[in-house]
Amino acid sequence: MNSNTHKVLSQSVLIPLMTLVGGLLVVSFAQDNPEPARPAAESQEAHPELQKIRDGINRVLEENARLKEENAQLRKENQQLRRLLAEKAAAGKASNQVTPPADGNQSTAASPGSESPMTYWLSGSNGQRHNSRCRYFKISEGRLCGPEEGKPCKLCGG
Ligand SMILES: [Zn+2]
């Protein structure tokens, strides 16, 4: 008997409690529902903007990759051009070193011939050479000669 009344009591208390808890759960669920819906709507509005930004970033990344490729290619071309220039400069130096001595020899070879005037007297009788200050200059029989013809006169030195 005792146990019976206990059961009824607990049942009569439990049922409203369950409904109360259930009701609270429903209310809290209903209240929670509209809140996550709002950010979802916002993200849907922001999506096209984000897409634009993402597209822009992708475009910049693509351009960057293309520029890197171009830069590498230009660097290769630059190295090739530098090598060609170095080769040309080396070839130019070699040809320049060959040419200058020829010019120097011509100017020095031309001068001695012009400085041999016939200002000496070669006497025909003994083949002696006299300079213009000698007393035998143009006295004896002979002809005008250069500074190295005949034998030098013992008096004037030729
Ligand atoms: Zn003399």
Number of domains in the chain: 2
Residues 128 and 93 in one domain: no
Spatial CB neighbours of 82, under 8 Å, sequence gap ≥ 6: none
Query: What integer is the mean pLDDT of 150-155?
Result: 95
Burial of 153 (0-12, 13-18, 19+ CB in 10 A): buried
For residues 20-49, b (16+ Cβ closer than 10 Å) or e, as one string?
A: eeeeeeeeeeeeeeeeeeeeeeeeeeeeee
Q: Is residue 66 part of a domain?
A: yes
Q: For residues 80 and 86, give the distance between their C-alpha atoms in angstroms, rounded to a whole number.
A: 10
Residue carrying the six token digits 């109360």? 20
CA of 120 to the centre of ligand 1 (A): 9
Q: Is residue 127 part of a domain?
A: yes
Could you tell me if 149 and 122 are in contact, meaning their C-beta atoms sit under 8 angstroms apart? yes
CA of 149 to the centre of ligand 1 (A): 13
CA of 111 to the centre of ligand 1 (A): 27
Q: Which two tokens stand for residue 88?
A: 């040309």
Helices (H), 33-156: 34-98, 100-114
CA of 132 to the centre of ligand 1 (A): 8
Residue carrying the six token digits 């759960």? 25
Q: When comparing pLDDT for 153 and 6, which is higher?
A: 153
CA of 16 to the centre of ligand 1 (A): 164
Q: Domain limits at 54?
A: 38-99
Q: Is residue 128 part of a domain?
A: yes
Question: Residue 150's CB: how many other CB atoms inside 10 A?
Answer: 19
Query: What integer is the mean pLDDT of 15-20?
Result: 58
CA of 138 to the centre of ligand 1 (A): 10
Query: What integer is the mean pLDDT of 67-72?
Result: 94
CA of 139 to the centre of ligand 1 (A): 10
pLDDT at residue 144 in the model:
96
Query: What integer is the mean pLDDT of 122-136?
Result: 94
CA of 117 to the centre of ligand 1 (A): 17
Q: Is residue 129 part of a domain?
A: yes
Q: Is residue 24 part of a domain?
A: no
Residues 90 and 121 in one domain: no
pLDDT at residue 68 in the model:
95
Residues 85 and 138 in one domain: no
CA dist list (Å): 87 to 73, 76, 79, 134? 21, 17, 12, 67
CA of 152 to the centre of ligand 1 (A): 7
How does the average pLDDT of the chain come out, rounded? 76
pLDDT at residue 146 in the model:
95
Q: Is residue 92 part of a domain?
A: yes
> 121 pLDDT exceeds 50?
yes
> 107 pLDDT exceeds 50?
no
Query: What integer is the mean pLDDT of 22-40?
Result: 57
Spatial CB neighbours of 118, under 8 Å, sequence gap ≥ 6: 144, 145, 146
